[in-house]
Amino acid sequence: MLQKIRALSPPQRLVAGAALVSLVLTGMSLADSRGLTRLRKLDRDLARQEQLNQQLRDENAALARTIKLLSPPVNDAALEKAAREQLGFVRPDEVVFKFE
């Protein structure tokens, strides 16, 4: 084995040495309890962030639909719904009952 290494040119030895060091460091980081623990934590964080991003995309899509409905030409039903839900508007002939 040592003869094979000596038969390599200096650049080849450098590449082989770098590959060996890389393998050793990778093995050490995976064997370290913090290495795998940190990897799992980062995976959980990534999954949670992707879920949050999907919720935000859904919310953005809903807001875009609302904007489209309230943009000219204005949809009267959508405008009334928005005024009632967001601003609490009621018609003059309506009675509001609040339950707490």
Q: Which pLDDT value is given to residue 30?
A: 74
Distance of CA 13 to the CA centre of its chain: 42
Q: Which pLDDT value is given to residue 54?
A: 98
Structure tokens at 2: 């040592």
Q: Do the domain assignments include residue 96?
A: no
Mean pLDDT over 45-68 rounds to: 96
Q: Do the domain assignments include residue 23?
A: yes
- Mean confidence (pLDDT) of the chain: 87
Q: Is the dihedral of CA 50, 54, 55, 60 positive or negative?
A: positive
Domain count within the chain: 1
Q: Do the domain assignments include residue 94?
A: no
Residue 21 to residue 7: CA distance in whole angstroms: 20
Residue 2 pLDDT level (bands cut at 50, 70, 90): low
Q: pLDDT, tens digit, for every residue of 57-91?
A: 999 999 999 899 888 888 888 888 888 888 889 98
* Stated pTM of the model: 0.53
What residue type is 11 in one-letter code? P
> Tokens 């339950």 correspond to what residue?
99
Q: Do the domain assignments include residue 32?
A: yes
- Give the best-scoring range by mean pLDDT among 5-9, 10-14, 28-32, 59-63: 59-63
Q: Which pLDDT value is given to residue 25?
A: 87
For 22, the domain range is 11-87
